[in-house]
Amino acid sequence: MSRISTDVAVIGGGVIGLAIALRLRADGREVVVIEPNEPGSGASYGNAGTIADYAVLPVGTPAVLRNLLPLLLDADSPLSIRTSALPTLFPWLARFAWESLPHRYRDNTRRIAELLSDAPAAWREFAAEIGASDLLSTRGCLYLYKTQKAFRVAATDIALRRSYGVAQQLLSPDEVLRLEPRLPPVEGGGLFFPGAINLIDPGETMRRLSAKVHQAGVTLIQASAQRIVRQPGGTRIIAAPFEVRARTAVISAGARSQKLAAQIGDRVRLDTERGYHLEFDMDEPPIERPVCPTERGFYFCPMHGRLRVAGLVELGGLTAPATPRLVQKLTANARGIFPNLGEPSRTWLGFRPSMPDSVPVIRPSRGGRDVILAFGHGHIGLTLAPRTARLVSALITS
Ligand SMILES: Cc1cc2nc3c(=O)[nH]c(=O)nc-3n(C[C@H](O)[C@H](O)[C@H](O)COP(=O)(O)OP(=O)(O)OC[C@H]3O[C@@H](n4cnc5c(N)ncnc54)[C@H](O)[C@@H]3O)c2cc1C
């Protein structure tokens, strides 16, 4: 075993762990990141790339709770479940149902809105710091409503977002086409979020972030953390062939954080919402900004040299392979808007680290500040990475 000693060991080098490592290094800490794969190659690579200041609503809402069964069973719904995973998922689902009750939903929305309040500004600063400002596009984000009824149903969500100060503009069907002329007409119109930013290449953004972390003097060790143990003066992390001794350990292993947290006594109801993307290589994507056909639960994302189609939620754990039916469904849904898309150039399955209340866990371990938990960012981990890094840094330095 090679022994390494450091101030802070960050377990997991996704966007959350890397952003934390960079922040702590800027604060003058000695930092080691433990990551078995290419840093940033998990969920942080394959997402829709939106810095979503508008995403204040949790996944679990009273409306989702009322329609949960049809949503899970309807083949056209953006939500699905692998029935073989039902027994394991049951505790998470039960908690999700509870968190979807009106009073919990309101409270969860408030907590998410608070975290998101400065997300675009924080990302601009972060992108400048990691040399990725050229990868930000500031053309906002567009929701589409297929029918007038769908638009009317969205009124409550729109009002709630407005109450949290989210900038949003209602668009008539004609205004949607003026903004994105290559879309087919939509009867229900659209909702434009002018403050949203999108990354034109999340993978390249992660490469630059990782390079910056390395350049800042953080040690990256390629290993998987198997065990965390508390000991006098800090923690010991077994990550064969390494043993890392750190005054503070940060658990930021995305969807795989639950077992590590349990080892130090924190029982956290983390699971995964599996998500997919398809990419269609092309020089000029047909849209200028992320566009979400709301009833289908995915985004068209214009990216460098390709159109990415990202979304869906599949409850089904971390080990099962991609479900071919969902890849086909996403392809068919994408072609429902742009019929000439052809075959995807590549497909991807990733694992959102998801809490039943959609609120990330960013706090010290119940057993003490020698371990900090920073995971469970669900659908908004990319958006919240700079903010999470600041919060973790404040927890460690205070
Ligand atoms: C289809 C899809 C679309 C999305 N769209 C958006 C979006 O538009 N905007 C947005 O803000 N968010 C979006 N998200 C969510 C976002 O991608 C995630 O919330 C975010 O990437 C989580 O970052 P993370 O660092 O926690 O996890 P990850 O990126 O998954 O990183 C976790 C890392 O921990 C490592 N690890 C695991 N176990 C161990 C261990 N034992 N020891 C050491 N390391 C370990 C893994 O190898 C991995 O690299 C989307 C997600 C998906 C799937």
Does any ligand 1 atom lie closer than 6 A to the CB of residue 275? yes
Measuring CA to CA, which residue among 337, 333, 389 is closest to residue 360?
389
How many Å lie between the centroid of ligand 1 and the Cα of residue 151?
31
In this structure, is residue 315 part of a structural domain? Answer: yes
Which DSSP string corresponds to 253-298?
Answer: -GGG-HHHHHHTT-----EEEEEEEEEEE-SS-S-SS-EEEGGGTE
Q: Could you report the per-residue pLDDT of 40-91, keeping only the tens digit for each? A: 999 999 999 999 999 999 999 999 999 988 888 888 889 999 988 889 999 9
In this structure, is residue 66 part of a structural domain? Answer: yes
The CATH number of the domain where 301 resides is what?
3.30.9.10
Does any ligand 1 atom lie closer than 6 A to the CB of residue 50? yes
In this structure, is residue 208 part of a structural domain? Answer: no
Residue 317's region, left for phi above 0, alpha for psi from -120 to 50, else beta, is left
In this structure, is residue 340 part of a structural domain? Answer: yes
In this structure, is residue 241 part of a structural domain? Answer: no
In this structure, is residue 213 part of a structural domain? Answer: no
pTM above 0.95, yes or no: yes
Structure-token pair, residue 140: 């906002």
pLDDT at 102: 96
**Which amino acid residue places its CA nearest to atom 15 of ligand 1?**
379
Q: Please tell me the distance from the alpha carbon of residue 131 to that of residue 164, in angstroms, as a whole number.
A: 31
Residue that the structure tokens 């719904």 belong to: 77
Owning domain of residue 192: 56-85+132-196+270-354
Q: What is the distance, to the nearest Å, from the Cα of residue 390 to the centroid of all Cα atoms in its chain?
A: 17
In this structure, is residue 319 part of a structural domain? Answer: yes
Block means of pLDDT (10 residues each) for the chain, 398 residues, are 95 98 97 98 98 97 91 86 91 96 97 96 98 98 96 95 97 98 97 98 98 98 98 96 97 98 97 98 97 95 98 96 96 96 97 98 97 98 98 94
Rg (CA), the chain: 21
pLDDT at 336: 95
Which of 197, 219, 315, 352 to probe ligand 1 with, by most ligand atoms within 8 A of CB? Answer: 352
- Give the number of domains in the chain: 1
Which of 11, 18, 20, 47 to probe ligand 1 with, by most ligand atoms within 8 A of CB? Answer: 47
Residue that the structure tokens 């929701």 belong to: 143
In this structure, is residue 164 part of a structural domain? Answer: yes
